[in-house]
Amino acid sequence: MVRTKRPLICIIAKGRKEEPPFSITETYLDAVNSAGGEPVLMPSVMTDPESFLEYVDGFIVPGGGDVEPELYNGLPHPTIYGVDPGRDRFEIKSIHFAIDKGLPSLFICRGMQIAIAAFGGDLIPHIPDEYGTPDEYGTLVRHRLDLPSKKWHPTEHVVNITTTDSRLAKVIQKTEISTVSCHHQAVRTIPPDWRAVAKAPDGIIEAVEHLYHPWAIGVQWHPELSINDSASQRLFEAFIEATYIRRAGGLVPSQSVEASTTWYEL
């Protein structure tokens, strides 16, 4: 395939209420750069995000604070933090546009949660309330490390790719990987046109895919924090490769589940 300019990858920046506002962690930029893309930030205060997305080749919705509970029929919880209703609604609008247009899309951590909420799925408000028993190995799965100082940090745990015909399985090329995660919420139910394709040993959904979109994958972990890991590299590289294929006219939406598993081959 003949490649010209590097693809422009839109990453939604932090919201107005986050510190610093309208910024992004540099690891996202490094991951996109190393995979062959050119990252550009989109602040979540634009009145017409669709006009911006028309000019980019790929779309990333990154991590951040919690999603507003009322968006997924959830209840308030004392551990919920960093809610930014303006960012939530901006991202939902942008996600629907990206899915409708077949724009290659990668949803990371909160990004996966807001994508699922955008299409009618719901979330687990606080994982330890529902997944606080030992897993099959006799130990708890730590999805993030909560310290006595009330600060939280990323932690590592295993993720199992459960759907072998998924695009994620073809990209990762493994059925079990070690991931870095930093979340206390997770997807509970999957909306129509999406499917779960990976889980943690405790049953938490760790990855989703859209059935009819050419390349829309959500992961609950943070691949940008371990870009030197081969699985994380392949995820970003496959995402960038999908933008080239779309640019060449090779990615189009499908109306059948069977076709959705064969649109893109690594």
CATH code, 168? 3.40.50.880
Report the 3 state secondary structure along 108-146.
ECHHHHHHHHHCCCEEECCHHHHCCCCCCCCCCCCCCEE
Q: What is the pLDDT along the chain (266 residues), one digit of tens a residue?
A: 456 699 999 999 988 877 788 899 999 999 999 999 999 999 998 889 999 999 999 999 999 999 999 999 898 999 999 999 999 999 999 999 999 999 999 999 999 999 999 999 999 999 989 887 655 555 678 898 876 665 778 999 999 999 999 999 999 999 999 999 999 999 999 999 999 999 999 999 999 999 999 999 999 999 999 988 999 999 999 999 999 999 988 766 554 333 333 333 32
The two three-digit tokens of residue 132, written as one number: 């606080």
Question: Is 142 inside any structural domain?
Answer: yes
Out of 10, 184, 222, 241, the active site residue is 222
Out of 10, 91, 109, 143, the active site residue is 109
Residue 222: active-site member: yes
The two three-digit tokens of residue 178, written as one number: 């070690």
d(CA 231, CA 211): 22
Which residue carries 């009330």 as its tokens? 150
Question: Is 57 inside any structural domain?
Answer: yes
Question: Is 172 inside any structural domain?
Answer: yes
- 172 SS3 class: helix
- 65 SS3 class: coil
pTM of the model: 0.90
The parent domain of residue 23 ranges over 8-248
Domain count, the chain: 1
d(CA 192, CA 208): 12
